[in-house]
Chains A and B, each alone.
Chain A
Amino acid sequence: MAFLKLINLTKRFGDFVAVNDLSLDIEKGEFISLLGPSGCGKTTTLQMIAGLHDPSGGSIELEGRDLTHVPPNKRGLGIVFQSYALFPHLTAAENIAFGLEMRGVGRAERDQRVARALDQVHLASFADRHPKALSGGQRQRVALARALVIEPPVLLLDEPLSNLDAKLREEMQLELRILQQNIGVTTILVTHDQSEALSMSDRIVVMDRGRAIQIDTPLAMYEAPGNAFVSGFVGKTNLLAGEVTTTRAITVNGVKLAANASGLSKGAAVRASLRPEKIVLGKPASGLKGKVGAAVFHGSHWLYTLDTPLGDLIAVAPNTGEPPFKSGASVSLSWPDNALRVLPAESSDG
C-alpha cells in the first residue's frame, strides 16, 4: 500500500488540460521530483495535492484516506512556496509558530518546537527578525522551518530554490536532502532544473503537456531515457536520426552503428541518444572520424563541438591537465556499445 497515491488526477482550465490523467504511487519517506518545462502541469499537480486547486477528475489518497475534497487547512501538509509566502508582518519565530498555534499547541511546547526548528535551519539568532530583514537564503530556511515544524506527513516544495543564486542553490540542495533524510519526511519537489532533480530525488517524474512521460530513479532516467523528450530534458545529449538495419545495428547518414534495436522492424525510422560524456576522443585512427569545431573550457572538463559524418555532435572530456584538441584538429570517435540508446520513434515528437 503506497503512502500517498495520485489516481488518474486531471485538471482542466476551460479547454486547456493542465494535468492529464496522472497516476503516481509514493512510498513513505520517498523524495519525488516533478520535473518538466514551464506549463507542463507540475505546479498544478502540487497545488492539487496541497488543496489549493480542486481536481477536475481523479483522486488523492494519503495512507488510504481520501484527501481529494479536503480543504487545504485540514490536510496538514507542509508546503514551501516558490515566493516563500512568509507573513510579512510576523517575525521569523512567529511565522514558524503559526501552524502550531492553529493546531492549538500550548505556549511552552510551541516555543520549544519553534526554537528547535530554527536551530535545524541554522537561524537561531534570527528569531525576532521580520522577513524584510532576512536574506533570500534565510527566508527560504524560515519557509522550510515553518513547513516542517508541524511535522507534516508530506512536504511539498514548489521550486523552493529557484530564487537563490547558483552557489547558494547548490548548498541548499545538499542541506535540504540531508535534512529530509534525517527527518524521513515524504517529499515532493517541483522543479524545472534537471540537475536539481537528479541530485536530490529518489525518483523523478518527467512531465510534459500535463502527462507523466517517465517515472524512474535518477540514474535510470539518465542512462535509459524512455524517449527523445526525456533524453533531451534530463542532461545533455546528441540525438541521432536513422533507421534500423538489423536488431543489433542502426544506420545514421549511411554510417552503420552498433545498437540494441531488438523488437523493431528493419527499415523503421528511429532516433538514438548518445550522451556527450560517453564519447571518447582519440588520435586519428580507424573507425569514425571527426573534426573539432570549438573547444570550450569548463574547469573540470572540456566541451567539444565536432563535425562528423553523423552530423554535428557535442562531446565532453575530463580535464586531465593536458592541452586539449585544437579547433580544426582531426580526431577519432568511439563509445561503449551500450552508450547508444535507441528510442522508440512514435514518442520522439517532443
Chain B
Amino acid sequence: MADGSRDNAPWFLSAPGLALFAALLGAPLVLTVMLSFYQFDYSTGGIQPAFSFTNYLDVLSDSYFHKIFGRTFGVALLVTVVCILIGVPEAYVLNRMRNPWKSIFLLIVIGPLLISVIVRTLGWALLFGSQGGISTALQWLGLADGPVSLMFTMTGMTIALVHVLVPFMVLAVWASLQRLDPQVEDAALSLGASQMTVLRRIVLPQVMPGILSGSMIVFSLTASAFATPSIIGGRRMKVVATTAYDEYLSTLNWPLGAAIAIVLLVATAVIIMSYNRLIERRYARVFE
C-alpha cells in the first residue's frame, strides 16, 4: 500500500496480459507482415519465403484492386455520412425523452449491437429479395412496376451496413450529450437564440467529440466489414475484406491476401488519423 516501495507491482500485475498479447497478437501480426512480402507459386500452390514487393505492386497497380479499395472506402464514407445524418438527431431526440421511454428506446436502438451481425444481415436479405417486403411495398405504393431486388446492389449494402453500425454513432453522441449541461441550452434561449441557433451554435460544437469518435468507429468497422457485404453484396460487390477472404480460402494465395489485409490496415489507420487531426484542429476548444 505504501507508495514508492512497489514500483514493479503494475508490471507484475499486467505481465500475464502483456505476455499473452505479445505472443498472440504481436507475433501473428509480424508473421503476416512477413508473409505479405513472400511469393505464391501458382504451379505448386506453395509459398516461397523470398522477400519482394510483388504483392504490394499487384495490389497498388492493378485496376481490379483499385476498384475494390475504391468501393470499400466509398461505402465506408457513405455509411459514415448517413450514420451522422440519422444517428446524431436520433441521439438528441432520445436524450430529450422522458423515462421510461428514454430507457426503452435506448435499449431498442443500441441493443441490436449485441445481436449477431449475421442475424441482422439476414433480416435485410429477407426484405431486399424480389419477393421481399421492400419490393412488395414499393409495388403496392405504385413506385415500382415489377419486383425490385436490392440484393447485390450498392444501395442494399449501404442500407444494411448503416443498420449494423448506426447504434455506435447514437451511443457515442449519446455519451457526449450526457455530459452537456441542459441549463446551457436554456441560457442560450434566454439570450434570444432560436432553437435552430441553439442546436447549431451551442449543442453541435459540444457533441463534436462524440460525432468524431462515432464516425471513426463507423468508418473503420465499415471499411473492414465482411459478413454484411458478403451476404448482401455478394460476388458482384466485392470489398477488401471479402477479397482477402477469397485469396486466402479459394485461391489460396496467402501472401497476396496478407498484402491486401496490410494495405487495408494501413489505409484505414491513415484515413482515421488524418480525419482526427482535421477535426481536432477545427474544434480544438471543445477537446480541451
Cβ proximity bits A23-66 to B, threshold 8 Å, 1 near / 0 not: 00000000000000000000000000001111000000000000
Residue B4 at the A interface, CB < 8 A?
Answer: yes
- Closest beta carbon of chain A to B5's beta carbon, Å: 6
Cβ proximity bits B159-195 to A, threshold 8 Å, 1 near / 0 not: 0000000000000000000000000000000000000
Chain A residues whose CB sits within 8 angstroms of the CB of B3 once the complex forms: 53-54
Residue B1 at the A interface, CB < 8 A?
Answer: yes
CB contacts between A and B, total, < 8 Å: 15
- Closest beta carbon of chain B to A51's beta carbon, Å: 7
Question: Taking each of B1, B2, B3, which has the highest tally of chain A beta carbons within 10 Å of its own beta carbon?
Answer: B2
Decide if B1 touches A52 in the complex (CB within 8 Å). yes
Chain A residues whose CB sits within 8 angstroms of the CB of B4 once the complex forms: 54
Give the complex CA separation of A73 and B1 in angstroms.
9
Give the complex CA separation of A72 and B3 in angstroms.
12
Give the complex CA separation of A51 and B1 in angstroms.
9
Chain B residues whose CB sits within 8 angstroms of the CB of A71 once the complex forms: 1-2
Chain B residues whose CB sits within 8 angstroms of the CB of A72 once the complex forms: 1-2
Task: Tell me the interface secondary structure of chain B in the complex.
Answer: loop
Chain B residues whose CB sits within 8 angstroms of the CB of A73 once the complex forms: 1
Give the complex CA separation of A54 and B6 in angstroms.
11
Chain A: interface residue total (CB-CB under 8 A)? 7
- Closest beta carbon of chain B to A6's beta carbon, Å: 17
* CB contact list, B1-43 vs A, under 8 A: 1-5
Chain B residues whose CB sits within 8 angstroms of the CB of A51 once the complex forms: 1-2
- Closest beta carbon of chain B to A107's beta carbon, Å: 28
- Closest beta carbon of chain B to A325's beta carbon, Å: 47
B4 to chain A: closest residue by CB: A54
Query: Interface size for chain B: under 10, 10 to 19, 20 to 34, or 35 or more residues?
Result: under 10
Decide if B1 touches A54 in the complex (CB within 8 Å). no
Give the complex CA separation of A5 and B5 in angstroms.
23
Give the complex CA separation of A73 and B4 in angstroms.
17
* CB contact list, A196-221 vs B, under 8 A: none
Cβ proximity bits A287-328 to B, threshold 8 Å, 1 near / 0 not: 000000000000000000000000000000000000000000
Chain B residues whose CB sits within 8 angstroms of the CB of A54 once the complex forms: 2-5
Give the complex CA separation of A54 and B2 in angstroms.
6
- Closest beta carbon of chain A to B266's beta carbon, Å: 41
Give the complex CA separation of A73 and B2 in angstroms.
11
Give the complex CA separation of A141 and B66 in angstroms.
73
- Closest beta carbon of chain B to A98's beta carbon, Å: 16
Chain B residues whose CB sits within 8 angstroms of the CB of A52 once the complex forms: 1-2
Give the complex CA separation of A71 and B3 in angstroms.
11
Cβ proximity bits A71-99 to B, threshold 8 Å, 1 near / 0 not: 11100000000000000000000000000
Chain A residues whose CB sits within 8 angstroms of the CB of B2 once the complex forms: 51-54, 71-72
- Closest beta carbon of chain B to A36's beta carbon, Å: 22
- Closest beta carbon of chain B to A114's beta carbon, Å: 25
Give the complex CA separation of A51 and B5 in angstroms.
12
- Closest beta carbon of chain B to A52's beta carbon, Å: 6
- Closest beta carbon of chain A to B174's beta carbon, Å: 28
- Closest beta carbon of chain B to A234's beta carbon, Å: 32
Chain B residues whose CB sits within 8 angstroms of the CB of A53 once the complex forms: 2-3
- Closest beta carbon of chain A to B6's beta carbon, Å: 10
Cβ proximity bits A226-270 to B, threshold 8 Å, 1 near / 0 not: 000000000000000000000000000000000000000000000
Give the complex CA separation of A52 and B3 in angstroms.
8
Give the complex CA separation of A72 and B5 in angstroms.
13
Chain A residues whose CB sits within 8 angstroms of the CB of B5 once the complex forms: 54
A54 to chain B: closest residue by CB: B2
Give the complex CA separation of A71 and B5 in angstroms.
11
Given contacts A52-B1, A72-B1, 13 further A-B contacts (CB under 8 A): A51-B1, A51-B2, A52-B2, A53-B2, A53-B3, A54-B2, A54-B3, A54-B4, A54-B5, A71-B1, A71-B2, A72-B2, A73-B1
A-B contact pairs, 15 of them (CB 8 A): A51-B1, A51-B2, A52-B1, A52-B2, A53-B2, A53-B3, A54-B2, A54-B3, A54-B4, A54-B5, A71-B1, A71-B2, A72-B1, A72-B2, A73-B1
CB-based closest 9 A-B pairs: A54-B2, A72-B1, A54-B4, A54-B5, A52-B1, A53-B3, A51-B2, A53-B2, A54-B3
